[in-house]
Every structure is written in C-alpha cells, then in structure tokens.
Amino acid sequence: MSSDHQPLDEMPSPMPVALSKYSKRVLLKTILDRPDGGLGLLDQRVVVGGWVKSSREVRKDPPPPTTQPPAAVGGDHTKEHTGGKDVKCVEVFQSRIPFLRTIIKVFGGNTGHTKEKLESIFPKQPPPSISFLQISDGSSVISLQIMVDSSIAPSTLLMPTGTCILAEGVLQKPSLQGKHTIELKAEKLLHIGIVDQDNYPLSKKSLPLARLRDCAHFRPRTTTVASVMRVRNALNHASHTFFQNQGFVHVEVPILTATETEGLSKKFKIFTVSGKEVKREEPVSMDDTADISLETVKLSIIEKSKKIEELKRSDSNKEALDAAVHDLHKTNALAAELEARSKSKSKSKSESHKKTESFKTYDEFFTNRAFLTTSGSLHLESCASALGNVYALGPRFHVDKSDSKKYLPERWMIETEIAFAELEDVMNCAEDFLKFVSHSVSENCYENLYFLSKRVDKTLIDRLQSMTSASFEKITYDTAVEVLNKVTDKTFETKIQWGVALTEEHESYLVDEFYKKPVIIHDHPKELKPFNVRLNDDGKTVASFDVIVPKVGALIRGSQKEERLNHLTKRIKELGLRKDQYEWYLDLRKQGTVKHSGFSVTFDVMVLFATGLNDVRDVIPFPRQHGKLHN
C-alpha cells in the first residue's frame, strides 16, 4: 500500500461521500450499495440525480409528515402516483384547497421553460404537501427516496414516473415507514426534467417486455432492462478480462468484407448513398446467375454437349447420362434468360443514361463487392498464425431468419483462435471461459441477478453458480446419438440417426435430463460443420465441438481448423466453393502452417443465459428486429 494514502481507521468521520468524477453528483450506488445501505452516511450533504420510478404525496397539514407513518395518513391525504392520467390528484387540489400563488424554487440551469409550463397548468398554488420520490440513476438496482417539500417544487411537477431530478440535500433516516434504509431531504432542486404523462410509455407498473421493445429509447429506465444492461456490461468486461489475463491479443475484424466467409451464410450487400446520385448495382450471391456472362454460359453448353456425347459413347450408367442431359437443359434455359435480360438491359440503358452513370460512381468507391461479415473466424486464423492467441468481440451479420428469439440479423460475437492448440486445448479454454464469466458476473452483479431471479427466472442464480462448479461432460457426437437412440420415454420431433444435426430438443434432453450438467459434444460428421474444420483420421468426422448449456442450448461452437493444405483444398472443391475467394486463406497453409483451434460465443445468447430472459430482443441495448429495425 502506498504511504501517501491515509489508513482507513485514521480517516475523519463521517467520511465525505465520493463524487461521481465527471458529473458533480454522487452516484446512487455509492450510497445504496454499501453494506449498511447508506446508514453510515447520515447527515451528509450530497447532490444526487435520477429519474422518478414511483412517488407518493403526503398532505402536510394537519398531520406533520416527518413523524407520521403512512398507516396513519388518511386515504385522501396520500396519493400513490401510478403514471396514468393523474386526474384524481388534480381534482383533489381544485376542490378542497384554497388557491394560493405558485412559489417554485428551482435553482441553476435554464429553467424558464419549466416555470412557464408550470404556471400555465397551475395558475394558483396547490396545498402544502410533501412528495416522496423513488429515484434511480441507473447505477444501482435500489432506488433512493427523496423527500421534497411543496415549497421547493409542487408535487404534481415532480411525481410523474420518468421525471428527471437533480437534488441537493441531506441524508436522513426515512420519514415514512417502508423498505428504505435512508432518504434524502431535498433542500434545492438543481434541475427538473418534466414528463408529459399522456405520451410517456412507462409507469410505476411494470409493462410486458414485448411492449417495452416499442419504446427502446426509454426502456433502460425500467429496473428489469437496466439490470439486464448492467449484467450485459459485466459479461462484456469479464470476457475481455478472461482473454487479457491469458495473454490474448484483441483484434478488430473488418465488418466490410469482400470474402464470402465460410460459404454457408447469406450476406448483406453494401451500397453507398451519395448526395445526389442514386446508386444501384445488381448484388449477387454465390449461386446467383446475374454476374455470369452469356459467353461463359454458351461455352459451358458446348462443353456439356461434348460430355453427353462422351457418356453416350462410353459404358457409363443411365443415371449419369440423365443427369448430364438434365444439366444441359438447365444451362440452355439459363442462356435464354441471360440473353433476354441483356437485351432488356441495353434497352433501358439507352433510355435512362443516368443509371449507367451511377453504376460508375458506385464502382469508384469499392473495386470489389462489399458484404457485411458473418464471421471473423478466417481473419482471426490469419492473426493467430502470427500473434499466437487472439480474440475478437464485435458485431456479425446474418440474413438468416430462423429462430428469431435467439438470433438477430445483427449479433455480437466473441471469437477466439489459438495457435498450436488442438481440439482438447480449445475445449478446455471454452469451459474455463464460461466458468470465469459465470463466476465474475455472480460476484460483481449479485444485486442485479437477485432482482432478475425474483422478477424473471428463479433458477438463475443456481444456474450460474452450478456453471462455475460443475465439470462439463465431454461426449462425442457418436455417443450423443447412441444416448438419444436409447430414449424410450420420449419422442423427438426430429428422429435421431447418425448424420443428423442435433436439434434443441435433443440438446435439452442431454443437458437437462440425462447428464444434468453442461455437455460438450465433439467430433461431428463433417457434413454438419464448415469446410475448414479439421478432418479426423476416420475420414467421416471432424474435430469440432459444441458447448451445450442449460436454458439456451448451444452457446459456444468451436473446432480445430484444417491446417493441411491438401485436405483443405479437397474440402473446398467437394463443397463447390469458389477457390479464388480463398487464395489468401490457403496461403496460410502454404506458408508456415500451424495447428490451431478456436471457438465462437454468441454474446447475445450468453446474456440470455445469465439473465434468464427468453428473447434476445430484450437483452440488447436497442431492439434490432427481423423485418423491422428499431425506431
């Protein structure tokens, strides 16, 4: 310990509360997340800010509110604010209380706007009262109660859910009986951000998460969504910490890419939008015919005709001949279509010269076709073949519409690649990673997890803790199929047999019912995995693995990559991938090839796992939906 720090026991008491360094206020967690709930800070003067989550009002006269428990306050005197139209509250004021002139003490800032609005609503002063506001500033699950006398600001201005308050005051024991350990008696309001209740979507009552997606810009003000965001942040930080502790180098994978990564997924195509020109070009996928020239197709027809002649001459079987003839017919049809298309194109070109021009402008920007990356895996392999251990955390993009509760077009992924590592090594790394982040988030976000376990998923905390302690079951795909085939008390929708991809129901059975712990399934049939997974000696399976965990199923997918040039080239050919797109990737096998392995974690799904929620749209900062973008 450095000697210029004063030992704790010599500090003057009470200790001043630490200011949030960059906003001249005290973060609520500094007060509320202390073991004593803030009691040790009694009589301290602080500035706090936040948004009203709920509120109640107590009439000041006749009963003195500071000594009055809520049970003794008459029904008419206490008003719980529910965030709906506060008609009753206004009625009470107008019918029972003598009108007095409004006196509002609002200090600092430009508050002209607020005053004006207020005076137009309440030309005369409401009766003396005290507002009790529960405010949150996003730093803690717990709210702070603020007591504001109506001589400082009228309750109707402060009480609506969502109102922003910056208040200076003194911490004291709560004046109303309740769950609070401490409250702030406001002496000044430095800022009020009012709420237009008719149009504010949130209220004291909690809304279904699906409805909250429609007001993405307000939903982090709810305790549930704010807790999810804090857990998400903790998972992000724990992930970085894990890899940094192990000496991995973080690399940023390019989002704009010209490579059709792994040849398996559909991709988003990029266009530029300039000031005046409307750019257009025909984006084409790998199996699209639009960029095949008519000449190429005609050449191919000649070749195919020759092949049919050969087949007829030779002793080949009828099936091969039939297939070749069918193929020729299809190619002829394609040629006809291309011819028609090119004619119509040249026509429309001459009619609208402008379009041709914008083609040019487009080409000036990207000489290659640009896509949004679906995976950083290939790029990471390249980095691992120099820097050793690397990882990336960033967004990846898929057009795929399936399983929209777990996967969105835009998803954040953690990807890692380790040089000199084989399958066993990287399975261990994946297991350690999950244990580390589960432990870390349990330690650092307990309050948030506890809230979510009450509100969303009772099994949440147990699940995270058993993740930390359980040893994962490692089984081959063969074993998984064997186990599933022996199941008699259950019928799976997809019948299991060797070669079939395991579905969620299979995975769930293995994890939740059979092994009752996380399961790593490895060595899948090669047909189920990408082209670049290392072929095993049996020639049928590859060195792949999936980590299946309770609740969300497959959370991590990884593999040892094929480092042998001849095997990789063969696989690219077998799958009919365009070899020219993989030249640089094959280079890595030609020049100092290394055994290496890696895995990827769908970060958004990990957040589902750690928060207990069921729909990924509820755990991302802004809902990105299929068919509908946020806002």
Site for its own copies in 113-132 (CB under 8 A): 113
Q: Are 246 and 560 in contact (CB under 8 A)?
A: no
559 is a contact residue toward its own copies (CB under 8 A): no
Give 71 or 273: the residue with its C-beta nearer to its own copies: 273
Provide the 10 A C-beta neighbour count for residue 72: 11
569 is a contact residue toward its own copies (CB under 8 A): no
Q: Give least dist CB 567 to its own copies, A.
A: 9
CA Rg value for the chain: 32
Give 75 or 275: the residue with its C-beta nearer to its own copies: 275
Q: Give least dist CB 461 to its own copies, A.
A: 21
| Contact residue for its own copies among 151, 170, 218, 514 (CB under 8 A) | 218
Q: Give the relative orientation of helices 377-387 and 583-590 as an angle to the nearest 10 degrees.
A: 30
- Report the alpha-carbon distance of residue 211 to residue 218 in Å, rounded: 12
Give 457 or 587: the residue with its C-beta nearer to its own copies: 587
Owner of token pair 């950083």:
376
- Report the alpha-carbon distance of residue 142 to residue 355 in Å, rounded: 59
| Contact residue for its own copies among 364, 489, 493, 538 (CB under 8 A) | 364
Give 307 or 540: the residue with its C-beta nearer to its own copies: 540
Question: Which of the residues 164 through 193 are near its own copies (CB under 8 A)?
Answer: 164, 166, 191, 193
Q: Are 128 and 150 in contact (CB under 8 A)?
A: yes
| Contact residue for its own copies among 186, 418, 437, 548 (CB under 8 A) | 418
Question: Which of the residues 271 through 290 are near its own copies (CB under 8 A)?
Answer: 271-276, 278-280, 282-285, 287-288, 290
Question: Which of the residues 599 through 628 are near its own copies (CB under 8 A)?
Answer: 620-622, 624, 626-628
| Contact residue for its own copies among 97, 170, 194, 294 (CB under 8 A) | 194
Q: Are 242 and 606 in contact (CB under 8 A)?
A: no
Give 324 or 430: the residue with its C-beta nearer to its own copies: 430
The kind and range of the H/E element at 351 are helix 318-351
Question: Which of the residues 480 through 519 are near its own copies (CB under 8 A)?
Answer: none
**Tokens for 308?**
């049919």
| Contact residue for its own copies among 352, 356, 469, 485 (CB under 8 A) | 352
Q: Which residues of 120-158 are buried (b: 16+ CB within 10 A; e: fewer)?
A: eebeebbbbbbbbbbbbbbbbbbbbbbbbbbebbbbbbb
| Contact residue for its own copies among 327, 410, 512, 615 (CB under 8 A) | 410
| Total residues binding its own copies (CB under 8 A) | 140
Give 125 or 448: the residue with its C-beta nearer to its own copies: 448
**Tokens for 465?**
């803790």
Q: Give least dist CB 185 to its own copies, A.
A: 20
- Stretches 4-12, 56-64, 97-105, 375-383: which one binds its own copies (CB under 8 A)? 375-383
Torsion of CA 415, 419, 423, 424, to 10 degrees: -110
**Tokens for 142?**
């717990």
- Report the alpha-carbon distance of residue 617 to residue 212 in Å, rounded: 10
Give 282 or 403: the residue with its C-beta nearer to its own copies: 282
Question: Which of the residues 290 through 319 are near its own copies (CB under 8 A)?
Answer: 290
Give 25 or 506: the residue with its C-beta nearer to its own copies: 25
- Stretches 96-104, 299-307, 320-328, 593-601: which one binds its own copies (CB under 8 A)? 593-601
| Contact residue for its own copies among 134, 145, 389, 544 (CB under 8 A) | 389
- Stretches 22-30, 86-94, 205-213, 319-327: which one binds its own copies (CB under 8 A)? 22-30
Q: Give least dist CB 414 to its own copies, A.
A: 12
x/- track of binding to its own copies for residues 66-105 (CB under 8 A)? ----------------------------------------
374, with CB counted inside 10 A (0-12, 13-18, 19+), is buried
Bond preceding residue 70 cis, omega within 30 of 0: no
Query: Going by C-beta distance under 8 Å and a sequence separation of 6 or more, which residues neighbour residue 276?
Result: none
DSSP string, 63-77: S-TTT--GGGS-TTT
Question: Which of the residues 33 through 62 are near its own copies (CB under 8 A)?
Answer: 49, 51-52
25 is a contact residue toward its own copies (CB under 8 A): yes
- Report the alpha-carbon distance of residue 346 to residue 352 in Å, rounded: 10
- Report the alpha-carbon distance of residue 261 to residue 96 in Å, rounded: 72
Query: Going by C-beta distance under 8 Å and a sequence separation of 6 or more, which residues neighbour residue 159?
Result: 52, 55, 56, 57, 81, 86, 89, 131, 133
Q: Of 452, 430, 455, 429, nearest to 442 (Cα)? A: 452
Give 410 or 505: the residue with its C-beta nearer to its own copies: 410
Q: Give least dist CB 89 to its own copies, A.
A: 19
343 is a contact residue toward its own copies (CB under 8 A): no
Q: Give least dist CB 371 to its own copies, A.
A: 7
Print the SS3 string covering 43-110.
CCEEEEEEEEEEEEEEECCCCCCCCCCHHHCCCCCEEEECCCCCHHHHHHHHHHCCCEECCCCCCCCC
- Report the alpha-carbon distance of residue 392 to residue 239 in Å, rounded: 10
| Contact residue for its own copies among 205, 347, 405, 578 (CB under 8 A) | 347
